[in-house]
Structures are given as C-alpha cells and as structure tokens.
Homo-oligomer: A and B are copies of this chain.
Amino acid sequence: MADKTIPYKINLSEDELPKAWYNVRADMKTDHRPILNPGTLQPVTAEELAPVFCEELVKQELNDKDRWIEIPEAIRNFYKMFRPSPLVRAYCLEAALKTPAKIYYKYEGGNTSGSHKLNSAIAQAYYAKEQGLKGVTTETGAGQWGTAMSMACGYFGLDLRVYMVKVSAQQKPYRRAVMETYGATVTPSPSDTTAIGRKILEMDPDTSGSLGCAISEAVEAAVTTDGYKYVLGSVLNQVLLHQTVIGLEAKTAFEKIDEYPDLVIGCAGGGSNLGGLMAPFMADRLAGKRAPYFIAVEPASCPSLTRGKFAYDFCDTGNVTPLAKMYTLGAGFVPASNHAGGLRYHGMSPIISQLYHDGFIDEARAYVQTDVFKAAEMFARVEGTLPAPESAHAIHATIEEAIKCRETGEAKTILFGLTGTGYFDMAAYMQYNAGEMTDYVPSDEDLARGLASLPVVE
C-alpha cells in the first residue's frame, strides 16, 4: 500500500459540484443519427415528442449544439444532499491483487436509491414540476430507476406511476416497498391496465416481462392520462446528459490529485452510467488530446454491443416509441429471466452506440454472471462495499486489467464506475452463495430470432 499521500476518498466541496451538464454530442464528429417517428420514419420533431416527454427534456433530447447545459439551482440543491460523490482509491483491492495498478472508483451508491439513477431522476422530476404536470409514468427493471424516480417525485410532490418488470416485482418486494414509501404506485408489467399490456399478455400469459415491454405500458399510460408525461431512466440522450455529473466530478477529483486515468471502465445496460462517467474524458479524445482507453462491459446474457447489430430499432417491445440507431438485439429479444440485475435491455444508448461504432469507445466485453458475482464477492470482502450486480461487471473487468498490470509491471491508473449497491439483489447473492447460480448465453439462433424483429429502415 504505497502512495498514501493520496487519500482513500477524494471528496470535492459543494462549490466544486458541476454547474452545467456536458453535452458530448456537441463535440462528436459523427453525431449519431436522428431518432425517427415510428409512423413516418422521418426524423422526429419536438412537436411529435411533446405528447410523451416534458418540454424542456425534449429540447435536451434533440440538442446537439450546446456543449454545456446549465443545471437549475433547485436540482443543484437536491444534488447537494448526496453529491459530490466520492472518488475512492481502492487501496485494499490493489493490495489483494498485488497489482502495481492504481485503481479508483467513482461511488454512486451513497444515496437511498442506491445508484446513480437519482442524478437524472431529480432533473426529470424538476422539469415535470416546472411544466405544471400532475405526475409522470415510468418503467423500472431491477428497481433502481423506479426508486430514484420515487424519491425525486416524493421530493417535488409529483405523482408517480411505475410499471415494474414482473419478474423483478416478484423477486424484489422490498424494492417495491421503498417506492411505495416515497408515495409511488407500482404495477407489475405486463399488466391489464394498458392496451399494449393486455396484447402482450394475450400472446404470452406467462411472460416474466421485460424493460422494453414496461416502457410500452408506461408510454401508453402517459399519453392517455391528462397532466402526465413519461420519463425514462437510461438510453435517451437527456439521461446520459444528466449523468455527466459523474464524469465531471471524477475529472475534477483527478485534477486535484494530479492524476489522469489510463483506463475508464463502466457497465453498460442502457448506457447512461457509462456515458456519464466517460463523457468528460471522451471530450479529450474527441479533441485529439491524451485520453483514456474506454471499456464497456455488458452481460453475456444480453450482449447488445458485442453481438448485436448497429441498426434502427424501437426502444420498446410494443413498438410505440420512436426508432433509434443503436446497437440492438432486436426489440423482440427477451433477456433470460435468470439474469440478476438491471442490464436486461435489448438496445443501447445511441450516443454510446455511435461512439463505439466509430472506434472512440475502444472495447466492449461480455461476462457471464457467475464470474461477475465472484468479482463482487471479492470486492465486498476487501473494499467493504457490497456492489450491485450491474456494477460488478465493471469490477470484474477492472480486476482483469489489474492482473494484467501485475503481469506486465505497468502501473496503469484505472477508473471504474461503482454505480450502486447490492442491497436489493440479495436473492441473487443467496443463489450465488448456495452455488445455485446458472449462466445463460444466448445461442446464435436466439439472437437471430431477436434480430428478425428489426424494422426495415432505409
């Protein structure tokens, strides 16, 4: 444990909290393709998005010009209750791995939602409140987004209706209880409360649900209810934008200790956490300056970057949302229900997809979950914090890279995103502890079936 002049936790002061989000699209040489109206297949307009999303969020969604978007003071004040989040030097993990690598993680699990999702939730609730809405609808998978949104809505006194993927609602009654404690209404999805839910149930009454399907229901509920709009916890440009507070704080913290990461590693489900963590460093890459090597990590059970197709696709199963150009397994792909955690989404943030397609994100990796939980257990025992299964994907990649450093003798500086805690994933940990966890890797035929659902565009 050398190098102790750098503290375990690099904390920023409240004054160092970012005053603006960073819009990486303004710096992207190849901006990603516009999202399309599912009816006309033409680039969607602000007017067309208005029935679904809050006005200000539509502006952010379509904004590819302004590099900085000011963070309203009410949001910054809420941020101050849990941000700036610490950048942590993982001294004990380094010692356990006997690696010369310097491992840092940005810890986003220190708030009650247990994850980074609160960064965007409070922004979306704020704009909904500003617009005078009664409430919002949304979906949640593992429950992190729903929890974050319920906290945000509880704070601003907005009503919240959450469609929760059925298998998660069954496996995580306590996660549901947290949302209800903050005042939200939670409906397991698919449900009979929406036309699309009823249609999906008719086709497959025993379906365990999926994020794509819950999105369809939440969108339908929003557009058919007066005074309600829809909010989404990942994938969208606006969400990635809000999550850039993570990377901006991390970069400031590194400047304070006169360091710069050689590697940036993040787990990727919808992509907003990875995008938010990497964006300010990606700015350096896009400007041709010294920049880290970027690694995206996804589950082998839902491998959109490593085995999906870069194509226009619906963001939901019910095909009611606009089409986005992204790495996708096809909106018809239903991820295995045995998989733990929140990375069960068929698509990927269009920003992440374009950056990966253009080679700015250097590498994507997919891991099976037993390997991921092994890394999670090790991390918990040496570093104290019990990680969320999602975050543990990044931990596993970090451990692999740190071991490489041990072998080559290189003292690389590694930054990974510890996006959340595992408190609400104990059923999965119990399975792992009992040696009963199984892995699922879709066959080529499984993937072909999902990709067959891709719409034909262009």
Contact = CB atoms under 8 A, between A and B. Distances in A.
Interface in A160-174: 173-174
B384 A82 contact: yes
Interface string A170-196: 000110011011110000000000000
A110 interface: yes
Nearest to A425: B174
A11 interface: yes
A114 B424 CA distance: 13
A225 interface: no
Given A386-B178, A429-B178, A381 B183 contact: yes
A55 to B, nearest CB: 26
A382 B11 contact: no
Contacts of A14: 7-9
B11 A11 contact: yes
Contacts of A183: 381
Interface in A1-39: 1, 7-9, 11, 13-14
A160 to B, nearest CB: 12
Interface string A134-175: 000000000000000001001100000000000000000110
Give the interface residue-count category, chain A.
Answer: 35 or more
A97 interface: no
Contacts of A405: none
A174 B381 contact: no
A262 interface: no
A448 B88 CA distance: 53
A384 B81 contact: yes
B181 A377 contact: yes
Contacts of A380: 112, 151, 154, 181-182
A109 B182 CA distance: 19
Nearest to A12: B11
B110 A151 contact: no
A430 B77 CA distance: 30
Contacts of A111: 384-385
Given A9-B14, A81-B8, A384-B111, A429 B181 contact: yes
The listed residue with most B CB atoms (<10 A of its CB), out of A9, A180, A383, is: A9
A283 to B, nearest CB: 28
Nearest to A181: B429
Nearest to A426: B174
A154 B378 CA distance: 10
A174 B177 contact: no
Interface in A382-404: 382-386
B384 A174 contact: no
Given A173-B430, A426-B177, A384 B151 contact: yes
A386 B112 contact: yes
Give the interface centre of A9, A173, A181 by most chain B CB atoms within 10 Å.
Answer: A181
A59 interface: no
15 contacts: A1-B77, A7-B13, A8-B80, A81-B92, A81-B383, A82-B384, A111-B384, A111-B385, A112-B384, A155-B382, A173-B430, A177-B429, A180-B433, A181-B429, A423-B423
The list of the 10 closest CB pairs from A to B, nearest first, reads A174-B426, A8-B80, A154-B381, A177-B426, A7-B14, A177-B430, A112-B386, A423-B423, A81-B384, A181-B429
